[in-house]
Amino acid sequence: MYKLLTIDPASHQTGVAYFVDGVLKYATVLRAVGDFKKKELIDYTDEKVRRAASISKQMFDVCWSFRFQPREVEVIIEYPKVYPGNQEADPNDMIDIALVIGRLLEQLPEPLKISFPFAYEWKGQTKKKMMTKHIKTRLTAGEVAVMGKDVDNHNALDAVGIGLWKLRRLHG
C-alpha cells in the first residue's frame, strides 16, 4: 500500500493532502489559530512562533488520525523560494514558512522518505489561478467530495497538486 502525504506550507494556511494507492483520501487547510496582529518586534516574533506551533499541533493531529508508522509514508513538502524580480512576494515571508516547515517536521514520524521540490518543479510557470483550475480537472468526483469546503482554497489545492504531480496524474 503506497501512502503519500503532501504539504504546501504557508505561515497562515498550510495545505495538506493524503493519498493512498494513488487516490486522494484527505485534503484540508491547517489554519493558524490566534490573534496575529503586528505588534512590537519581540511580540511579533513570538506571534510567528505561536502561529507555526498552532499549525504544527494540527499536523500532529492529522498524523495521529492516520496512525502513520515509520517507513510507510512518503512526504513531499514544497520548498519555499524567493524569485528575483517578484514584486508581490516579501522575502521575509520565507523565514516564516521555514519556521512552519521546521515545526511540521517535528510532528512527522521518523524515518520517512521526504523530498522538497520547488514550486516550479511540480507546476512549472503556470499562474496560480490557472493551476488551481487545472488541478480540479484532474480529480475524480469522489476526490472533489473529499476536499469538501477546501476545494477552492489554493493552499489545499496546491497540496493536492503536488500529490497529483508525484503520482503522474497532473500533467498527463
Ordered structural domains, the chain, with CATH: 3-166 (3.30.420.10)
Q: How confident is the model at residue 20, as a pLDDT?
A: 94
- Residues of the chain with pLDDT > 90, as a percent, come to 49
Amino acid at 130: M
Tell me how far apart the terminal alpha carbons of the chain are, to the nearest angstrom: 23
List the single range of 29-33, 52-56, 122-126 with lowest mean pLDDT: 52-56
Widest distance between CA atoms in the chain:
49
Integer Cα distance of 13 and 34 in angstroms? 12
pTM, two decimals, is 0.86
Higher pLDDT, 36 or 170: 170
List the single range of 31-35, 39-43, 86-90 with lowest mean pLDDT: 39-43
The DSSP code sequence of 70-93 is: TTSEEEEEPBP-PPTT-SSS-THH
pLDDT band of residue 35 (cuts 50, 70, 90) is low
**pLDDT single digits (tens) 136-149:** 999 999 999 999 99
The pLDDT of residue 72 is above 70 = yes
Q: How confident is the model at residue 161, as a pLDDT?
A: 98
